[in-house]
Amino acid sequence: MSSKDVSAESLIYPAVMIIVVGMHYLLLNSTQSIQWATYLPVAIGAVSIAFLEWQYPFRYEWYPDCTDIGHDLTFMLLVQVLLPRLLSFFVAVTLLAALNQNELTVNLGWPHEWSVVAQVVLMLLVADFFRYWLHRAAHEWAQPLWRLHAVHHSPKKLYWLNVGRFHPLEKSIQFLFDAFPFILLGVSAEVLALYFIFYSVNGFFQHCNVKLQLGPLNYIISGPELHRWHHSRIIAESNTNYGNNLIIWDTLFGTRYLPENHEVQELGLLNRNYPISFIAQMKTPFVSDLDQG
């Protein structure tokens, strides 16, 4: 591999992130609604990564077929897009409305006076800390959580769209850890929007089938080079790299894993016949040891 190739692979992640964040601020400054300024950059990020997968695949055998795309698109639309919006709406019209009606406020010292970027960084650190332990518990300590989480580990290939493959019950639990506390604290829409953009596009990258390198960012960001190991079929390899957006907590607690000059092999669960359809995977967590074959 030439130094030119290495340089190009190192630029892919930061370039896309700079583009989507820059687009977000351009749209905000052009008096577009915050919804447009949030969802359009995320959509552009998804299209960009899909194009990069086609042009610079990490593995050709990870190309999705029509069946993969159909199932994963269903998960993305229903579980990643619709469900969080319904949960956020429920929180807004019930709990927050009740608190406001009774003149109760939640004030635990969130630094609303900080800059938007500083608040997003704090949000990433706090949310990732709780998600780290939830994720680790699902793999190492809590069998009911693992049965739910096994849905996410069922694919035998990674590409950007199957980042959304989560059981809705697990997604609801995740909501309690990463979005709900910040909504309750009254974190501003501007902060939540920028967090959502990074969260979404970094998630697409985590699962992407793109040949890239994050270099020193692998000590900060939970990106694809780390996350591929988390999807290894070998349990000792998959019980690592729990970070949702950041890898900092894995480094601190000794679960970061990125061997040199070695690539992950088989992905997925021990049971190679684990059902893959959306309907079937709504029931799989309630079948004992199905992930084991």
Q: Could you read off the pLDDT of 15-73 as tens digits, one per residue?
A: 999 999 999 999 999 977 999 999 999 999 999 999 999 999 999 999 999 999 999 99
Q: Could you read off the pLDDT of 84-128 as tens digits, one per residue?
A: 989 887 776 676 666 666 655 566 678 999 999 999 999 999 999
Q: Could you read off the pLDDT of 120-149 as tens digits, one per residue?
A: 999 999 999 999 999 999 999 999 999 999
pLDDT for residue 224 is more than 60: yes
Q: Could you read off the pLDDT of 177-209 as tens digits, one per residue?
A: 888 888 888 888 899 999 999 999 999 999 999
Residue 42 in tokens: 């995320």
Burial pattern 179-193, b for ≥16 Cβ within 10 A else e, equals bbbbbeeebeebbbb
Entry pTM: 0.93
For Cα atoms 221, 222, 223, give the angle at the middle one, nearest 5 degrees: 95
Query: In which band, very low, low, confident or very high, does the pLDDT at 1 lie, cut at 50, 70 and 90?
Result: very low
Task: Please give the Cα distance from 145 to 150 (Å, whole number).
Answer: 9
Question: How many residues are given for the chain?
Answer: 293
- Domain holding 238, by residue range, is 3-292
Q: Quick one: what percent of the chain has pLDDT higher than 70?
A: 92
Predicted local distance difference test score (pLDDT) of residue 5: 57
Secondary structure, 3-state, 209-272: CECCCCHHHHHCECCHHHHHHHCECCHHHHCCCCCCCECHHHHHHCCCCCCCCCCCCCECCCCC
Burial class (CB in 10 A: 0-12, 13-18, 19+), 45: buried
Q: What total of structural domains would you count in the chain?
A: 1
